[in-house]
Structure 1
Amino acid sequence: MRHPAARHTRTAASCATVLGLALTATACGGGAVTPGGGEQKLSGQTLTVAGVWTGVEQQSFKKVLDGFSEKTGAKITFSSTGDNVSTVVGSQIEGGNAPDVVMVPQVGVLRQFAKKGWLAPLSKEIGTTAGKNYAQVWKDYGTVDNTYYGLYFKASHKSTVWYSPEAFEQAGVGPAKTYKELLSSGRTLSDSGVPAFSVAGEAGWPLTDWFENVYLSQAGPENYDKLADHKIPWTHPTVVKALSTLGQLFKDKNLVAGGGAGALRTDFPESVQQVFGPEPEAAMVYEGDFVSALVTDELHKEVGKDAKFFPFPSVDDGKPPTVSGGDAAVVLKAGKNKKAAMELVKYLATPEAAGIWAQAGGFISPNKKVPAGDYHDEVSRKAAKSLTDAGNSVRFDMSDQAPAAFGGTQGAGEWKLLQDFLRDPSAPEDTASKLEAAAAKAYRN
C-alpha cells in the first residue's frame, strides 16, 4: 500500500514559504513560476479534488491548484481522504457528493476504481501531452484494459541508499556500485566501529522496498512484471534467489544495527535518526528520496553535506534498479464538473504545474520536461534526473500493485512474512512458500 510513515515525512522544505500566495517569486535555485494570466475560461465554475495529502504536502499541492485557478478562474476545494482512499471515495460516490478529481496513491487502487466503473477515460489531448512529457511506462501504469485513466503527477524514487559522509570517510569506503561491494563496504564500516545499516523493520513496507530493489536488479524487469501480476508464483526460483541475496545482509549482525531483533523495533523515522542523529548508530539507511525531508526538517542536517545518497547498486549481473511510487490524477464519472476536471488534469501534465511544487521542495516529478532549475535543491534535482533518465526501465512499487491484503496491510501478507524473514532469514524457501500462499489467497479474492 501507500506507505503512511513515508508519506507523512515527505514534507516540503522551509523554502516553500518563499513562493507566497502569488506564486511568482523565484525559489531557491529555480526560475520564476508565473501561472497567472490565463483566459479565465472556467470562471465561476467549482471543482472538488481529493487526495491523501495532509500538512505541508497538502499546502504545496494547494499552491499547484491555485496556479490552475489563476489561469482559468475555476474555484477549487481540496479534501484529504486519509490513507483509506477507496473506502472514502466509495462512500462519497454513494452519497452523491463525489469529488471531480482524485489523486490516487497506488496502482492497485487505480485499477480497482477502473474495474468498479468509477473512472472517466482521460481525454485524447491529455494522452497526447502525457506522451510528450512522460516515459511510456507512466502511461502504462495509468492504463487499465487499454484505456488511459490516470495521469501521474508526483513520484518518489525508491532506489536511493543514504549514507553518512563522515562515517564513510573514517572507514575509507565510497558509494557501492554492486550489491557485493555494498556488503563488503558494510563489513569495513563495521570493523571501523559502526554497523553498516539501520533497517526499519517495525513496519513491513520498508522491507518490501528492500526486496523489490534486489529482485528488479537480479531477476530483471520482465520477471518483476510477472511477479507483480502474480503470473509467476512466489515460489519461483528467482524469488528464492532474491530472498537468499537479501538474507546475506539481514543475517549479518555486523551489517544491521541491533541485528534482526533490533531492526524489528526500529520504525522508519528512527532508522534515519540512527544514521544522521546526534549519536549515530549506523552508517547507511536504505529508503526513498523522502529521507531528505526527515534529515532537514526533523534532524536539521544539511542534505548534500551531512547526508548524501547513491543509487541502489546492481545485483549480480543485473542493472541498477529504479523502483518508484507515485500519485495519479483520475476523473470520476460521478463528479459534477467533468469538463473542468479534464482541464485540471491536462494542466497537471504540464511542466508548469509540476514546477510549482518542485520549487517548494519535497517533490519530484516523472515529467521529464520539468526544468532542473525548478527543483528546490541539488538532491531533488539529482533524484528527479535519475528517475526520468531511467525512462521505461522504471518499475512501480510492487506491493502497491498488489491487493492490499497481501501488499499493504500491517501484520499480514507480505509485510508480516518479510518481518518474519528479517527475524530469521535462514529458510528462504519456506518464506517463499508462505508468500505464495498469502498471495494466492489475496489475488483470488
Structure 2
Amino acid sequence: MRRSHWQRRGRVQVGAAVVAGVLAFTLTSCGGDGGDSTDDPKSTPKESKASVQLPKLDGEEISVAAVWTGAEQANFKKVLKEFEKRTGAKVTFVPAPDPIINFIGAKVAGGSPPDVALVPQVGAVKQAVDKKWAKPVGAEAQAELGKNFAQGWQDLGKVDGTQYAVYVKAANKSLIWYNTKVFENAGATEPKTWDEFMTTAQTVYDSGVTPVSIGGADGWTLTDWFENIYLSQAGPEKYDQLAAHEIKWTDPSVKDALTTLGELFGKKDFIAGGNEGALQVEFPRSVEQTFTGGDQPKAGMVFEGDFVGVNVAEAKAEVGVDAKVFPFPAVGDKAPAVSGGEAAMLLKESKAGQALLTFLASSDAAELWAKQGGYLSPNKNADLAAYPNDVQRAIAKALIAAGDDFRFDMSDQAPQSFGGTPGKGEWKALQDFLRNPKDVAKIQAQLEADAAKAYKD
C-alpha cells in the first residue's frame, strides 16, 4: 500500500510507556497539589531575560491565523504582544474555523493568505507543502529548533527532509481530570487500569453523580478516546500500522478497542446527558459541567489533554485543588501516551514572518506562554518554573523527559478528510458509535470505507 512521507514519519516515535510512567510518578510525588512549592527552588521562575535575538521590524505588519478561541486565544495574543514589543512589528490575529487547512486553501485561492498559520495536523503540513502553500523555515528558526527541541518534534515539521513547520505547542492527550470533591464524597480512588476505571465510575455513580462528561459534539475528543485505548491494548506496532493504514479498520485489534470503549459508551447512565446528550456537548462545556455545581456537578470526570487546565480556570475552579488528574488507565500491559500539538507554518515569505517562527521556537516564548496556564511546550530548555502549578509542571516534565519516546495523535497523522473534518470520516463514525455502541462491525466497515477513500486520494 502506498505510504506518503507524513505517514512514515509517525515511526519517529518509538515506545509509549515512558511518558505515562514519568507522569504517574511526578503527579504522585507532587501529591496532585496545584500549589507552588516554596521548598523547591524550581518553583520560583527565573528572572526573565531575552535569550533569542530578533531583528528590528518597525512598520512591518503580519497576520497569524489559528482556530483558538477564549482563554487559549487570549494567552497566545500575549505571546504575540511580546513579539511586537521586541521587534516593533504589528501582528494581527486572524480567527480561523476548523479545519484550518480548508480556510488556508480558500485564502490562498483568494490571494490573501495569512503570513503564518497554526495547524494541528501533521497531515495538514504535508498537504500545504504539496500544494506549494508553505514556505521553508529559515536558518534562524532552525537554529532555535536544533537547540531547544528533541529530534522527534523537529521531524514532525519536516516534509522530505525540509523543515516547513515549527511545533510550538504540545499536548499530552492521555489524561483524565476529576472533580476532587466528587471523589472525596464518593470515596473514589485514582484508577490505574481500565477495569479499575470502570469500578471508579460505578463508585461515583453510586454516590449520586454521573461519572463521565464527554464532549461528543466535537468528534476529535472521541478519536482521542479510541487512540488511547487502542495504543494500550493493541500496542505501538499496531498503532503505527493503523495510523499508516497498513492494516484495515476491520482488523480484529480495532474490534477489540471499540468493544472496550463500548463498555463505557454502552452505559448511558455513566455519561452526562446520556449518549444523545453527549453528542450535543462541545469540548469546553464537557469540562465546565465537570467543575461547576459544587459537589453536585453534572459529571465527576472528563477525559482530555493538559489543555483542559484553561477550561478549568474558565469554570472558576483551581487546578490541583478543585481539579486533579491521573494518567489514562492501562487497558493492556502499559498505560498509553498519546501526544498532539500545533505547528507554526509560514505561508508568505517575509522577514517578519521568519522572525516570528524564530521567536515561537525560543525558550522566551515558551516560558511566557507557559505562565498563562493551559499550555504545554515541547521546548526542552523552557524553565519548568514558568508553569503556574505543580500539576502542569509535572506534565511538562514528563513530556521533556520522554524525548522522542511517544506516539503522535493518530487522527492528526491521517489525511484531513478522514482524521480531521467535522461530520466526515473518523469523527463522524465515532459519533455514530457513541450514539449506538452495539454494532461494532458496522462502525468498523464505515471507518474502513472512509479511510480507504481518503488514503487513496
Query: Normalized against structure 2, the TM-score is what?
Result: 0.82
Whole-angstrom CA distance in 1 between matches of 2:271 and 2:209: 10
CA separation of 1:416 and 1:287: change in aligned 2, threshold 3 A: same
Whole-angstrom CA distance in 2 between matches of 1:188 and 1:247: 19
Is 2:232–2:330's contact at 8 Å kept on the other side of the alignment? yes
Please state how far the C-alpha of 1:369 moved relative to its aligned partner: 1.4
Please state how far the C-alpha of 1:328 moved relative to its aligned partner: 0.9
Whole-angstrom CA distance in 2 between matches of 1:408 and 1:281: 29
* Residue in structure 1 matched with residue 321 of structure 2 by the alignment: 305
* Residue in structure 1 matched with residue 36 of structure 2 by the alignment: none
CA separation of 1:354 and 1:39: change in aligned 2, threshold 3 A: closer
* Residue in structure 1 matched with residue 219 of structure 2 by the alignment: 204
Please state how far the C-alpha of 1:116 moved relative to its aligned partner: 0.8
TM alignment of 1:14-29, pairs within 5 A: none
* Residue in structure 2 matched with residue 276 of structure 1 by the alignment: 291
Structure with higher RCO (Cα < 8 A, 6+ apart): 2
Letter in 2 for 1:310: F
Please state how far the C-alpha of 1:73 moved relative to its aligned partner: 4.0
For each residue in 1:20-40, what CA deviation from the matched residue of structure 2 results, as whole angstroms up to 9, or x when unmatched? xxxxxxxx9634434499675
Other structure's SS at 1:305 match: coil
For each residue in 1:323-343, what CA deviation from the matched residue of structure 2 results, as whole angstroms up to 9, or x when unmatched? 2322211223xx251x44333
* Structure 1 residue 397 corresponds to structure 2 residue 409: yes
* Structure 1 residue 343 corresponds to structure 2 residue 355: yes
Q: 1:294 aligns with which of 311, 314, 317?
A: 311
- Count the aligned residue pairs: 413
* Residue in structure 1 matched with residue 244 of structure 2 by the alignment: 229
Other structure's SS at 1:151 match: strand
Whole-angstrom CA distance in 2 between matches of 1:257 and 1:93: 42
* Structure 1 residue 367 corresponds to structure 2 residue 383: no
**Identity over aligned residues, as a percent?**
50
Please state how far the C-alpha of 1:442 moved relative to its aligned partner: 2.2
Letter in 2 for 1:317: D
* Structure 1 residue 387 corresponds to structure 2 residue 404: no
Whole-angstrom CA distance in 2 between matches of 1:39 and 1:400: 32
Other structure's SS at 1:245 match: helix
Other structure's SS at 2:213 match: coil
Letter in 2 for 1:180: D
TM alignment of 1:23-102, pairs within 5 A: 30-35=45-50, 40-102=55-117
* Residue in structure 2 matched with residue 435 of structure 1 by the alignment: 447
Please state how far the C-alpha of 1:374 moved relative to its aligned partner: 0.9
* Residue in structure 1 matched with residue 30 of structure 2 by the alignment: none
More off after superposition, 421-430 vs 241-250: 421-430
Query: Normalized against structure 1, the TM-score is what?
Result: 0.84
Please state how far the C-alpha of 1:128 moved relative to its aligned partner: 4.3
CA separation of 1:76 and 1:240: change in aligned 2, threshold 3 A: same
* Structure 1 residue 104 corresponds to structure 2 residue 119: yes
Structure 1: give runs of 5+ residues left out of the alignment.
Answer: 1-27
Other structure's SS at 1:376 match: coil
Letter in 2 for 1:312: F
Whole-angstrom CA distance in 2 between matches of 1:95 and 1:262: 39
Q: 2:370 aligns with which of 358, 376, 391?
A: 358
CA separation of 1:38 and 1:370: change in aligned 2, threshold 3 A: closer
Structure 2: give runs of 5+ residues left out of the alignment.
Answer: 1-42
CA separation of 1:202 and 1:56: change in aligned 2, threshold 3 A: closer
Whole-angstrom CA distance in 2 between matches of 1:141 and 1:258: 38
For each residue in 1:281-325, what CA deviation from the matched residue of structure 2 results, as whole angstroms up to 9, or x when unmatched? 33211122232222222x31222111111111222113x222232
Over aligned residue pairs, what C-alpha RMSD do you find? 2.7
TM alignment of 1:213-252, pairs within 5 A: 213-252=228-267
